[in-house]
Structure 1
């Protein structure tokens, strides 16, 4: 489930970075229109991937509900980080999906 949480967090962060205010706060410059389109596409791809993983692991009904819950929890964490520790938001976006993927691979074997 850490993989789904990490992908949801990554998707929400990409969505936030598509906004000029958050992009400027985290990366120091406003995003170009091409970067905004890429970030929005990455956000949709990440959320869809997380939903697919969750449905594959838990089934359709439970997986969808669990994905929604993990999406809300990752959103709460992202909002808290952007409000209090914005510089922690980017390293967590890299670490959470990698840790979740490693745990999923170790648990599958």
Structure 2
């Protein structure tokens, strides 16, 4: 579940980084049109991977509902971080999916 949360969070963050305001706040200058399109593609891929993880773990019906709930929670966390501590958003985007993947690999044994 942490892996799906992390993937959703990463996807929402990349979607936010495709917008000029958030890109300037976190990374410097506004993104080029090509970079913005790439970030949106990564966001779409991340949400699809998170949906796949949830469906694999919980089945189709429950997995889809779990994915939507995790998407909502990760969005709330991201909005809170962007409003309160914007510089914490990037390290969290790297750490949570890695921690979730490590826990998923260790739990699979």
Q: What displacement does 1:28 show?
A: 1.2
* CA distance in structure 2 between the partners assigned to 1:69 and 1:58 by the alignment: 13
Q: What displacement does 1:14 show?
A: 0.4
TM-score (norm 2): 0.99
Q: What displacement does 1:82 show?
A: 0.2
- Give the secondary structure class of the aligned counterpart of 1:4: helix
Q: What's the CA shift string for 1:4-41, capped at 9, x where partnerless?
A: 00000000000000000000000011000110000000
Q: In the alignment, which residue of structure 1 is the partner of 2:29?
A: 29
What count of residue pairs does the alignment treat as equivalent? 109
Output aligned runs, 1:30-69, within 5 Å: 30-69=30-69
Structure 1 segments of 4+ aligned residues over 2 angstroms from their partners: none
Measured on the aligned residues, the alpha-carbon RMSD in Å equals: 0.3
Output aligned runs, 1:1-109, within 5 Å: 1-109=1-109
Q: What displacement does 1:63 show?
A: 0.1
* CA distance in structure 2 between the partners assigned to 1:82 and 1:104 by the alignment: 28
TM-score (norm 1): 0.99
- Give the secondary structure class of the aligned counterpart of 2:30: coil
Q: What displacement does 1:93 show?
A: 0.2
